[in-house]
Structure 1
Amino acid sequence: MADIADPRAVEVSRSATGALASLSLAMLLSSLSTSIANVALPTLSEAFSASFPAVQWVVLAYLLAITALIVSVGRLGDLVGRRLLLVAGLALFSAASLAAAVAPTLPLLIAARAAQGLGAAVMMALTIAFVGDTVAKERTGSAMGLLGTMSAIGTALGPSLGGVLIASFGWRSIFLVNAALGIAAMLAARRFLPPGEAGQDRGATRENARFDMLGTVLLALTLAAYALAMTLARGRFGGLNVALLGMAVLGAGLFLHAEGKIASPLVKPALFRDPVLAPSLAMNALVSTVMMATLVVGPFFLSRALGLSEALVGAVLSIGPVVSALCGVVAGRIVDRWGASAMVAAGLALMAVGCAALAVLPALCGVAGYAAAIVILTPGYQLFQAANNTAVTADVGKGQRGVVSGVLSLSRNLGLITGTAAMGAVFAFAVGTKDIAGAAPEAVAGGMRFTFAVAAGLVVAAVAIAAAGGLRKRRSA
């Protein structure tokens, strides 16, 4: 006699699928909103009769809001309930997108983008945190791989979708699309995500489990100062950058001091001594710094050293996001099958080979060599991300999932920000001039080799951190 499916089991399976779909849409939106705005900057400069540095704040305001607030919103989700806050974040994102679409002036558009970034910070922090509430532990890697895939699709889709929308309907349409997708994601989250309860922080009683406003302000100011130090006056690290960096160092010290004094801190200082989390954060930052080098250095190499047209440069640069989108889910399934720790090491090893290939193959084989190296590097990155996220979130208590996911996302963002400045500076040093657009093709090719040799060294440092973390865990076992 054939087995009859348990209706309750079928309903649970459908709910889990719907929950994962709503989380995937939220993750896609947060990355899409960055890349789709980048392509609109020349149009916005014309529409508002503004300088290019002025319209760059349309992107920068969004990224600053995410970076400064992602840890705080993760902690808030632990305290008030993750579904409630995620739905509110999606509602804010949608409302801010509508405000951006109708903004009559550039300052109002920038303000709307900052509000949109706050909504995106909620989405980025809580999608990863929600995986533990919606997916069986043995399928965590697959879920993390799917979220990585959706992030890559958002990044890859933004420029092409934005270009079509702007050409057909004008720049306001790119924000209207964000609003429509945000509303769809909000309705899906309300329908499918488990209501749950406010997280229980084991280190604090119900009476003193309050939101740490002082820590939130200190951390937001610290991260904003660091992000501005790394992004303002790019290529010229002058007095303003040094002052901002000094403010960031001072703010970090004040933040850690304050967190050690209160009963319910935003981030427990002990988290940074955790034998799993601390190495994972360091590796995540290093790996993100390396990946940013492909976006900073790649366009100059392809256009100046290889002489490709703008259209061909865009096509070659799209290889990375496309490969990410194709291999993210596969990477997650590999993590579920072979274990997170082993796949962290495997992903880093593949990335090291990819960086070495970027230092050597493009000079020998041109575009084909560059593409082959990216095809090696990108799956390694996806495998590392799926494994690292799985390892960090596997044994985190419900009362800390939001803040841990926020800190994990923050380390990635800080790596991207640092990579923009640091790897750009390494490339300029190797080329021998800050005017890279006017540098000789041979100098640009030499800068490419040197930069990715340095990148390979950073990945080797991440491998050493992974090995040291594994050794500590074995000794404590």
Structure 2
Amino acid sequence: MMASLSDQPIYSFRVRLAALSLAMLLPSLGTSIANVALPTLASAFAAPISDVQWVVISYLLAVTTLIVGVGRLGDMLGRRRVLLIGIGLFALASACGALAGNLWLLVAIRGAQGLGAAIMMALTIASVSDMVPKHRTGSAMGLLGTVSAVGTALGPSLGGVLINAFGWPAVFAFMAVAGGAAFVLGYRVFPADVAKAPKQFSFDFLGLAVLALSLGAYALSTTLGGQASGFANVGLAGLALIGLASFVAIESRAADPLVQLTLLQDRALTAGLASMGLVSTVLMATLVVGPFYLSGALGLSPAATGLAMSVGPGVSALIGFPAGRLVDRFGEASVTYAGLLGVAAGSVLMILLPTATGVAGYVSSLAVITASYALFQAANNTAVMNGAAGERRGVTSALLGLSRNLGLITGASAMGAVFAFGSKGEGLFSLGNKDAAGLQLTFAVAAGLACIALCAALFGRR
């Protein structure tokens, strides 16, 4: 008989958690490390920025559209098996990217890399309960949140160093080597999947295709920005709505649905997903609005702007693991509420402090928002995954990742539009004008979103 998790030696938890951490690091690194290479790629392939941006967009589309489907595959075929396939695919696609001879081949390779990243995003969180005792789940979730933040923060600087030293292929070569190391470590230490009674394979391919079409249309409507006409963006948004309605109809009739609609009748799960989407929208506001305000209103140089912006990921990385320990000690609910209140408070501070105290006010407000986000993420992820049935942990984790991605995508477009609108008028509270007014209006909306997320969390746990 296999020993329970609590009977296994403590080093096995740490080694397995290290392997999971490496699998969590790679997708976030893959998201941010390629951005810094875009100008170099434009020069190398003699292509306009509008074409080169598809190196980023194709990765984002693959992750967003496929994450739920691969999470379901992990539940059906075994999380260890599918997670290793995802890590291997990421490593192989990265190696091919380093050898790509033209831009559109690289774009296609980035889509394959995004598929591998989607598998890792969905199944790393889902695998925590297979490898870590329940009383350590919060700490594990906090550590994975820290690793993700480190990957996002490290990507641009690491990419810049590699490009300056060896050229843009070095970015993909590095990810290939790191992916290979993650595969070898995971193969050695991930526990075997629990044997299941053999049954006929039945996967909801129609549901996956319709959901992917819907999410892809929505993502394109928000990421294309000025590259597409207003009519095209409206058409894509309409296609997303029609596709989502069709997906619900398909799932309600499917014998083995991709997403059991009864899952969404669980108020705690629905509240956790909604809160994650809303708070991720607020987080993206700090990334999108910050550079414009710091350079426009405060007159910072690009280097100083980057340094100020790095405070956010840095704080998230420092707070993530302690946040998980707090979850284990005080429970998911208390830490969730504290995190959401902190995000709302940080948003209010962002309205008041930067116009009064300049960079110091901005940085301190940003630190409050990102620290609170780390608290919320550790607690919310723990609560959602602890409430998931074993045979549905993959798809539940995928839904959690999807809600975060959709929040980030929405924040990039919607909060950017709010900032642009506010920048046309006087200060929201007569504390500034132009860019200061845009900052105030943006974070007034952000504070409202955080309060809505808090109400959702309270309703879900009532």
Instruction: Give TM-score scaled by structure 2 length.
Output: 0.95
1:371 aligns with one of 360, 363, 366: 363
In the other structure, the counterpart of 2:445 is 454
Shift of 1:398: 1.4
1:12 correspondence with 2:9? yes
Gaps of 5+ in 1: 1-5, 201-205, 434-440, 472-477
Task: Measure, in 1, the Cα distance between the counterparts of 2:424 and 2:85.
Answer: 49
1:178 aligns with one of 170, 175, 178: 175
1:266 correspondence with 2:280? no
Name the amino acid aligned to 1:171: W
Shift of 1:237: 6.7
In the alignment, is the contact (CA less than 8 A) between 1:77 and 1:198 conserved in 2?
no
In the alignment, is the contact (CA less than 8 A) between 2:385 and 2:396 conserved in 1?
yes
DSSP 3-state at the match of 1:442: coil
1:389 correspondence with 2:385? no
Task: Quote the sequence identity (%).
Answer: 54
Shift of 1:470: 2.4
In the alignment, is the contact (CA less than 8 A) between 2:81 and 2:193 conserved in 1?
no
Question: Kindly tell me: are residues 424 and 236 of structure 1, through their superposed partners in 2, closer, same or farther at Cα, counting changes over 3 Å?
Answer: farther
1:197 aligns with one of 174, 194, 197: 194
Aligned pairs for 1:311-350 within 5 A: 311-350=303-342
1:232 correspondence with 2:229? no
1:188 aligns with one of 178, 185, 188: 185
In the alignment, is the contact (CA less than 8 A) between 1:340 and 1:387 conserved in 2?
yes
In the alignment, is the contact (CA less than 8 A) between 1:79 and 1:199 conserved in 2?
no
In the other structure, the counterpart of 1:255 is 247
Task: Measure, in 2, the Cα distance between the counterparts of 1:443 and 1:27.
Answer: 39
In the alignment, is the contact (CA less than 8 A) between 2:6 and 2:133 conserved in 1?
no
In the other structure, the counterpart of 1:42 is 39
In the TM superposition, what whole-angstrom CA distance separates every residue of 1:203-258 from its partner, at most 9, and x where no partner exists? xxx64662111111111111101100111124987000111111111110111101
Task: Measure, in 2, the Cα distance between the counterparts of 1:235 and 1:99.
Answer: 28
In the other structure, the counterpart of 1:203 is none
Gaps of 5+ in 2: 426-431
Name the amino acid aligned to 1:14: Y
Question: Kindly tell me: are residues 292 and 234 of structure 1, through their superposed partners in 2, closer, same or farther at Cα, counting changes over 3 Å?
Answer: farther
In the alignment, is the contact (CA less than 8 A) between 1:199 and 1:398 conserved in 2?
no
In the alignment, is the contact (CA less than 8 A) between 1:71 and 1:125 conserved in 2?
yes
Shift of 1:18: 1.3
DSSP 3-state at the match of 1:40: helix
Question: Kindly tell me: are residues 331 and 287 of structure 1, through their superposed partners in 2, closer, same or farther at Cα, counting changes over 3 Å?
Answer: same
In the other structure, the counterpart of 2:110 is 113
How many residues were matched structurally? 453
2:78 aligns with one of 63, 81, 89: 81
Shift of 1:10: 9.1
Task: Measure, in 1, the Cα distance between the counterparts of 2:184 and 2:42.
Answer: 35
Shift of 1:198: 6.2
More off after superposition, 282-291 vs 11-20: 11-20
2:271 aligns with one of 264, 275, 279: 279
Instruction: Give TM-score scaled by structure 1 length.
Output: 0.92
In the alignment, is the contact (CA less than 8 A) between 1:362 and 1:368 conserved in 2?
yes
DSSP 3-state at the match of 2:445: helix
Name the amino acid aligned to 1:267: V
Task: Measure, in 2, the Cα distance between the counterparts of 1:329 and 1:353.
Answer: 22
1:302 correspondence with 2:299? no
In the other structure, the counterpart of 1:150 is 147
Question: Kindly tell me: are residues 79 and 10 of structure 1, through their superposed partners in 2, closer, same or farther at Cα, counting changes over 3 Å?
Answer: closer
Q: CA RMSD in A?
A: 1.7
Task: Measure, in 2, the Cα distance between the counterparts of 1:180 and 1:193.
Answer: 19
Task: Measure, in 2, the Cα distance between the counterparts of 1:12 and 1:250.
Answer: 51
Name the amino acid aligned to 1:108: L
In the other structure, the counterpart of 2:422 is 430
